[in-house]
A and B are shown apart, each in its own frame.
Chain A
């Protein structure tokens, strides 16, 4: 057995276990050191994933696939984990106890995400999903002093359990029809019986299970409450990590496991995408809480990213990957700012950001850039990302979908701008300066640089994502 194919996962699991043990060895007062160790370890893991990604190919006879696409997603997840662990340093320091386990849970969730990206079999898919979700539930409820955090954790685990049940039911139906758990066999077996109601219902249930993870409408109900209640770094990890993992699994399922029975899947994906764009953007308009606003914006972005799966071509897939990268950095920037703002005593309400330009110009500028990226206004990266997705959809003759996405994008700009207005224009009641910790400063700087960089010099990452998408032969 070639263990080098799962080298990164093994190291990640070792990091998670090591952090757990290491935290216990430290005296109670010093456990926040784990955070620094974790950040360094994740950074090292990221470097490792670029330098020595392990041999390509499959592990355990096709249970698990280590190909360029899964490697890309793994690098995305590790980046997210690294940035989130930096973001969490201050938060964990403020906790009374259990400071060190936080990072270990982050690590385990990371391993789950990696499994999802590499899963090539229904069973490894399901194990990956649960391994990712359960630590996330604990992390969501981590702030024990806050009722909202506990409530969010409860909601998350209940709804996750339901979605898992739906997913499992769907998988069992598919297994019944295909007689095999492996993607490749399932695709072959299901192709001949693709019109079978059993297959159609099973496939819809499986897609629904992952639509929950990417918070696509109508499976989005959990995300505003969970984002609002969860600590800001955890919300960031949910928004970028868990969502990207959902997309990783969906891409492989839709392209390699489920037969596209006479155009049913495009229709299913189109409806998810349209609903998410319309509902997410419209409900975001009246929000007054920043995290809830971001939750609805993340729902809308799930809709945009799904456009890549509607196109389901090399260019469409590449556009999705590009968008996921820029989405990661824009969200990390926003959540990092919110997190330091919260530590400085700010509430989660948008109105409390008043006069931020004076209280912390750097934080205000970073928020401005990241919000503009989400709104799709150049020179931030969001414009290029949206353009890639929309151009590919239009090229395939769905100009109406492009037009709809653009209309919803204008709607979205109006709520992003109303946040920008509060940050840049309104006068603060409390004009005290906000001190931004060095770690947060670094996070904000990285987010802004990548966001502007991807918008002004899009070529390198475009070529990278296109090369990866090119290796996916359907």
Chain B
């Protein structure tokens, strides 16, 4: 597509918005909202346009931009999106757009909130768009500190503990991943088995055939490092605290997007550069994925706090992504990427609703709530939509994603796949049970003063639910793009004779 350059503007618009906000006085609340909304809208509009203009038959990296950054080390600010990253860019744009509306009525330090939130989103865009390993990693790091501040200033429920725990987990993970990145860099520079030049270009790096021992070593570091973000059992301990303590819009971003950074990096860098290493560690990933899916689903069932239920359910759903990755075939990885998108939207919807309930009722303890459908029919309908998506009801995009994952995974890990599918049943139990306890039952006069969602509060609900249902009814709109991105990778893996059958 000549003449259409959506990526730099999409990437820069949150940063520019944050910079503009610095100069707006704290009291001008409307100006602050307007700038934040404008920044989010620019990104969203450009991304949607890119979805339409992406040439599906050609596939591969498109809308490529090339800027030289540190020439002597071969680091370039190369931007581009393919079928793997474009859906995730869209996901990020949708969630921040919804997040601005969720935060519309924020009273305390709203200017700073939007500055940090936009900086965070800018970092996430950078990760998905970067075609250079060092730049990709740098953007992951850029996103860390804003999240820390966002959780510990605007959060709830043991927010400082949660923020610190979260930050230390993520930074430790990054440090482990950075060891692998530095090792890759050194390996690639070695003329004996590498390229003999300084480069971080992922495309160039993937042409190297890394030594199998090195692949096993480096992929394991990547798995441990990025696994914290996903999060993979047993590195998941930061997630329930972090997601529950974060303010609503940030929970949406954390569960919706930040968790996907790990999965994305693992596919793009881990499997992309080290297919044999991935193959070696795949059984481990598959086992941990099954534990993620089933064990954490049971953990979610016994939670007393509504937000902890949703947070744990996110971890459980990321187990599907992991088993999709571990199976290493086209269908399963296709489904994994689709699941990242579907789960991102669904989790954001969940957190938006939980945030609404908490804002109005000032409690999230399930036992205290009940019969809310009487006072808040729209909120309860939205919760039902999210819940049905969560348990994989056909007609929702989550069903498409999960179905695709399991058609791929069952060919490689039949037993583990069945175990993981079992978690869908557990999910159905806890989602419906929570729904029953919170929204159904006799009218509780204690909650008669609660008003249903309306006005700006409905915007995120409508947008997110529409995306879930829209792609659920017409999955081709996005599955074609994903398949185009995954197929070359799957073919590369298959050509090494290690992937499962198609």
B182 within 8 Å of A by Cβ? yes
Contacts of A379 on B, CB cut-off 8 Å?
138, 142
Interface residues of A in 419-474 (CB under 8 A from B): 420-421, 424-425, 458-459, 462-463, 466
Q: Which of B82-90, B143-151, B380-388, B410-418 lies on the face that meets chain A? A: B143-151
- Least CB distance, A403 to chain B, in whole angstroms: 5
B496 within 8 Å of A by Cβ? no
Q: Is A402's CB under 8 angstroms from B142's CB?
A: no
A458–B73 alpha-carbon span in the complex (Å): 11
A395–B189 alpha-carbon span in the complex (Å): 8
Q: List 21 A-B contacts (CB under 8 A).
A: A379-B142, A390-B178, A390-B182, A391-B182, A391-B185, A395-B190, A399-B179, A402-B183, A406-B176, A407-B175, A409-B175, A410-B171, A413-B171, A417-B164, A417-B167, A421-B160, A458-B69, A459-B69, A462-B70, A462-B72, A462-B73
B153 within 8 Å of A by Cβ? yes
Q: Is A394's CB under 8 angstroms from B182's CB?
A: yes
B157 within 8 Å of A by Cβ? no
A377 within 8 Å of B by Cβ? yes
B153-175 contact mask (Cβ, 8 Å, vs A): 1 or 0:
10000001000100110011001
B134 within 8 Å of A by Cβ? yes
Contacts of A388 on B, CB cut-off 8 Å?
73
Interface residues of A in 219-233 (CB under 8 A from B): none
Q: Is A425's CB under 8 angstroms from B149's CB?
A: yes
Contacts of A424 on B, CB cut-off 8 Å?
149, 153
Chain B: CB-nearest residue to A455: B138
Q: Is B152's CB under 8 angstroms from A387's CB?
A: no
Give the one of B148, B149, B153, B186 with max A CB within 10 A.
B186
Contacts of B190 on A, CB cut-off 8 Å?
395
Contacts of B55 on A, CB cut-off 8 Å?
none
Across the A-B interface, the 7 shortest Cβ-Cβ residue pairs: A406-B175, A395-B186, A394-B182, A378-B138, A394-B186, A410-B175, A403-B179
Q: Is A410's CB under 8 angstroms from B172's CB?
A: yes
User: In the complex, which range does the number of interface residues on chain A fall in?
Assistant: 20 to 34
B176-211 contact mask (Cβ, 8 Å, vs A): 1 or 0:
101100110110011000000000000000000000
Contacts of A390 on B, CB cut-off 8 Å?
178, 182
Contacts of B172 on A, CB cut-off 8 Å?
410
Contact of A414 among B70, B112, B138, B168 (CB under 8 A): B168
Q: A395-B186, A462-B73, A463-B72 are in contact. List 4 more A-B contacts (CB 8 A).
A: A377-B145, A394-B186, A458-B69, A459-B70
Give the one of A388, A391, A403, A424 with max B CB within 10 A.
A391
Chain B: CB-nearest residue to A372: B145
A439–B356 alpha-carbon span in the complex (Å): 48
A410-B172, A424-B153 are contacts. A399–B142 as well, Cβ < 8 Å? no
A22 within 8 Å of B by Cβ? no
Contact of A459 among B71, B141, B145, B185 (CB under 8 A): B71
A377-B141, A378-B141, A410-B172 are contacts. A421–B152 as well, Cβ < 8 Å? yes
Q: Is A410's CB under 8 angstroms from B168's CB?
A: yes
- Least CB distance, A123 to chain B, in whole angstroms: 38
A362-373 contact mask (Cβ, 8 Å, vs B): 1 or 0:
000000000010
B495 within 8 Å of A by Cβ? no
A402–B181 alpha-carbon span in the complex (Å): 11
- Least CB distance, A113 to chain B, in whole angstroms: 29
Q: Is A394's CB under 8 angstroms from B175's CB?
A: no
- Least CB distance, A104 to chain B, in whole angstroms: 40
A406-B178, A414-B168 are contacts. A399–B138 as well, Cβ < 8 Å? no
Contacts of B186 on A, CB cut-off 8 Å?
391, 394-395, 397, 399
A381-414 contact mask (Cβ, 8 Å, vs B): 1 or 0:
0011001101100110101001100110110011
A372–B176 alpha-carbon span in the complex (Å): 19
Q: Is A406's CB under 8 angstroms from B68's CB?
A: no
Q: Is B185's CB under 8 angstroms from A395's CB?
A: yes
Chain A: CB-nearest residue to B144: A377
A414–B175 alpha-carbon span in the complex (Å): 13
Helix, strand, loop or mixed for chain A's interface? helix
Contacts of B167 on A, CB cut-off 8 Å?
413, 417
A377–B146 alpha-carbon span in the complex (Å): 11
A424–B183 alpha-carbon span in the complex (Å): 36
Q: Is A399's CB under 8 angstroms from B183's CB?
A: yes
- Least CB distance, A397 to chain B, in whole angstroms: 8
Contact of B148 among A399, A407, A417 (CB under 8 A): A417
Contacts of A383 on B, CB cut-off 8 Å?
138, 141
Contacts of B138 on A, CB cut-off 8 Å?
378-379, 383
B121-135 contact mask (Cβ, 8 Å, vs A): 1 or 0:
000000000000010
A80-114 contact mask (Cβ, 8 Å, vs B): 1 or 0:
00000000000000000000000000000000000
A387–B185 alpha-carbon span in the complex (Å): 11
- Least CB distance, A284 to chain B, in whole angstroms: 15
Chain B: CB-nearest residue to A413: B171
A357–B149 alpha-carbon span in the complex (Å): 12
A169–B80 alpha-carbon span in the complex (Å): 61
- Least CB distance, A31 to chain B, in whole angstroms: 39
A414-B168, A425-B149, A459-B68 are contacts. A378–B142 as well, Cβ < 8 Å? yes
- Least CB distance, B212 to chain A, in whole angstroms: 18
Contacts of A413 on B, CB cut-off 8 Å?
167-168, 171
Chain B: CB-nearest residue to A456: B69
Contacts of B164 on A, CB cut-off 8 Å?
414, 417, 421
Q: Is A402's CB under 8 angstroms from B179's CB?
A: yes
Contacts of A406 on B, CB cut-off 8 Å?
175-176, 178-179
Contacts of A387 on B, CB cut-off 8 Å?
134, 182
A420–B147 alpha-carbon span in the complex (Å): 13
- Least CB distance, B140 to chain A, in whole angstroms: 9
Contacts of B153 on A, CB cut-off 8 Å?
424-425
- Least CB distance, B127 to chain A, in whole angstroms: 12
A372–B138 alpha-carbon span in the complex (Å): 13
- Least CB distance, B240 to chain A, in whole angstroms: 21
A399–B180 alpha-carbon span in the complex (Å): 9
Contacts of A407 on B, CB cut-off 8 Å?
175
- Least CB distance, A206 to chain B, in whole angstroms: 32
Contacts of B72 on A, CB cut-off 8 Å?
459, 462-463, 466
A403–B149 alpha-carbon span in the complex (Å): 27
Contacts of A459 on B, CB cut-off 8 Å?
68-72
Contacts of A403 on B, CB cut-off 8 Å?
179
A383–B142 alpha-carbon span in the complex (Å): 10
Give the one of A357, A395, A397, A402 with max B CB within 10 A.
A395
Chain A: CB-nearest residue to B135: A378
A406–B73 alpha-carbon span in the complex (Å): 20
Q: Is A399's CB under 8 angstroms from B182's CB?
A: yes
Chain B: CB-nearest residue to A402: B182
A459–B76 alpha-carbon span in the complex (Å): 11
- Least CB distance, B75 to chain A, in whole angstroms: 8
A395–B181 alpha-carbon span in the complex (Å): 12
- Least CB distance, B70 to chain A, in whole angstroms: 5
- Least CB distance, A459 to chain B, in whole angstroms: 5
Contacts of B176 on A, CB cut-off 8 Å?
406
B21-65 contact mask (Cβ, 8 Å, vs A): 1 or 0:
000000000000000000000000000000000000000000000
Contacts of B139 on A, CB cut-off 8 Å?
378
Chain A: CB-nearest residue to B163: A421
A406–B174 alpha-carbon span in the complex (Å): 9
A407–B144 alpha-carbon span in the complex (Å): 17
Chain B: CB-nearest residue to A388: B73
Q: Is A458's CB under 8 angstroms from B70's CB?
A: yes
Contacts of B68 on A, CB cut-off 8 Å?
459
A421–B144 alpha-carbon span in the complex (Å): 14
- Least CB distance, B211 to chain A, in whole angstroms: 14
A410–B172 alpha-carbon span in the complex (Å): 6
